[in-house]
Amino acid sequence: MKIAVIGTGYVGLVSGVCFAETGVNTICVDIQEEKVQQLKNGEVPIYEPTLDILLKRNIKEERIIFTTNLKEAVQQATIIFLALPTPESEDGSADLSYVLNMANELSQIITDYKIIVNKSTVPVGTAAKVQAIFDKKCTTKVDVVSNPEFLREGYAVEDFLKPDRIVIGSSSEQAITLMKKLYAPFVRQGNPVIIMDEKSAEMTKYAANSFLALKISFMNEMANLAEKVGADINDIRKGIGTDNRIGNRFLFPGIGYGGSCFPKDVKALQSISKEYDYDFKIVNAVIDVNQKQRELFFQRMQAKIDLQGKKIAIWGLAFKPNTDDIREAPALYLIDELLKYETKIHVYDPEAMENVAKKYSQKINFGGNMYEILENADALIIVTEWNTFRTPDFNKMKSLMKSPCIFDGRNLFELQDIEEEGFEYYSIGRKEIKND
C-alpha cells in the first residue's frame, strides 16, 4: 500500500511517520522547500517527543520520502491524506481555502481511483464540497473520506500509535475497507474504528475539542468562585475527579486554554451554529470565559504590583508543555499587556523561545535557563507547566529575585511549601499567600 500525506505540520508529519512505521510506503508533500529539505536530512522542524527517532528510522528503511512535487506523490498513491491548515478566518469560521484549493489542484492531476482523506479539522459539509469538486472535474471515481485527528501535541506520536479510537466518515464500502486495513496495526488491542457518515465525523472533532474546552472553562469559573468563597479549587478538583462519571482529566484550572486547536475550533463551532441559526449558549460561554480568564490574571497582577518599568520574569511560553507551539499561547497575551507598561520582560521556555523570538525579536529578553532570568526580577509569572518548573530551588530563586513574588497561572506549587519558603504567591482558585 502506498499513501501520500499533503502538509507536513504537526498532524501531517506525525501521521506520515507513524504510517511508515507500520510498513506503509509514505510520500509526504509540503510547499515549504526548506522544510522538505530538513525532513529529507532527517531533521524534525518541530519539537515533538520521539518523532526524530521514528523519522530517522523510516528514512533509513526507505519507507518515507519527502517532496515538493505534488503530482509525483499523488500519481503513486491510492490514499491521499490532507493535513492542511484550517486557520480561523476574521469572522471566526474555519478558513477552508487551503483544503478547497488543494482539491481543485488534485482534480487536475488525478487519473485513477483515489481516496482523499481529510485529516484537517473542517466544518460540517466540507467533505461534500470537496467531493463535488472531484465529481465535477474528474473522469475517474474519487472517494472523499473524513478522518478527524485527535492527537495531542506533546504526545502526538504516542496518541497516533495508540489512538483511543479512529473515526472514519464515509459512505463508500471500498474506501472504508482500505481505511480499516491501513489503521489495523494501530487498533490491535481492540480500540474501536468507528464508521459514520462524513458530516457526523466532521462534527465529532468539533464536539470533542469544544467539550474539552468546556471542561477547562467550567473549572476556571469554579476556581474564580472558589477564591471568592474561600475554598480551594485543588481540593474541589480531586473531590469531583474521583467520580468516574466526571473523570479526572481536563479539570485543571489555569490562565485559559490556547494552542492551534481549541481556540479556533470552539470559535468554528460557534460559527457553524450561527450559520444554522442555532444559539449554542454553552459554546458562547466557553469562549467568553476563556478570554476573561487571562484578563483576570493580568488584572490581578496590576492590582498587586505597580508594573511600570519593572523587571518581570516569565517561565513558559508554549501554549502547553512538551511542545514548541506558541499559537494562541496565553504567554503572548501577557507579554503584549506587559509591554504597554514598559516592563523589562525576561523569558525562559525549554523549547518555544525560538518561535517567540521570531515574533518579538529585541522587545523581550531570552534567558539561557530558568534561574538566569530571575536576577533582580520584581516578580515571576508561570505560564506553562513544564515539569522542569515543578520542583525548583526556592532558596536560589529568593536569592536572585528582587522581591520573592510569584504569579502562578498553573498552580504548580503546594500552598504550604510556598508559605514556608516565604514567597508572596498568587495562583488560581486558591488563597493568596502574602508575606507582609
* Measured CA distances, 223 to 285, 332, 431 (Å): 16, 23, 11
Does 93 bind ligand NAD (CB under 6 A)? Our answer is no
Kind and range of the H or E element at 6? strand 2-6
Mark residues 111-130: x for contact with ligand NAD by CB under 6 A, - for none. --------xxx---------
Does 203 bind ligand NAD (CB under 6 A)? Our answer is no
Residues 6+ apart with CB under 8 A from 411: 233, 234, 252, 253, 254, 427, 428, 429, 430
Give min distance, CB of 120 to ligand NAD, in A: 3
Stretch that binds ligand NAD, among 24-32, 49-57, 195-203, 328-336 (CB under 6 A): 24-32
How many Å apart are CA 384 and CA 234, to the nearest integer? 18
Q: Choose between 144 and 377: whose C-beta lies nearer to ligand NAD.
A: 144
Residues 6+ apart with CB under 8 A from 302: none
How many Å apart are CA 14 and CA 16, to the nearest integer? 6
Stretch that binds ligand NAD, among 83-91, 134-142, 310-318, 375-383 (CB under 6 A): 83-91
Does 83 bind ligand NAD (CB under 6 A)? Our answer is yes
E strands of 267-411, at which residues?
Answer: 311-315, 344-348, 365-366, 379-382, 405-408
8-state DSSP, 433 = B
Stretch that binds ligand NAD, among 26-34, 305-313, 328-336, 346-354 (CB under 6 A): 26-34
DSSP 122-173: --TTHHHHHHHHHHHH-SS-EEEEE------TTSHHHHHHS-S-EEEE-S-H
Does 322 bind ligand NAD (CB under 6 A)? Our answer is no
261 counts as catalytic: yes
How many Å apart are CA 389 and CA 408, to the nearest integer? 11
Residues 405-434 that bind ligand NAD (CB under 6 A): none
Q: Choose between 324 and 421: whose C-beta lies nearer to ligand NAD.
A: 324
Going by C-alpha positions, the residue among 320, 328, 376, 306 that lies closest to residue 349 is 320
Mark residues 128-157: x for contact with ligand NAD by CB under 6 A, - for none. ---------------------x-x-x----
Does 31 bind ligand NAD (CB under 6 A)? Our answer is yes
Of the candidate residues 102, 236, 251, 326, the single one contacting ligand NAD (CB under 6 A): 102
Residues 254-273 that bind ligand NAD (CB under 6 A): 260-261
Which residue is catalytic, options 18, 28, 138, 261?
A: 261
Residue ranges in contact with ligand NAD by CB under 6 A: 6-12, 29-32, 35, 83-86, 98, 102, 119-121, 149, 151, 153, 260-261
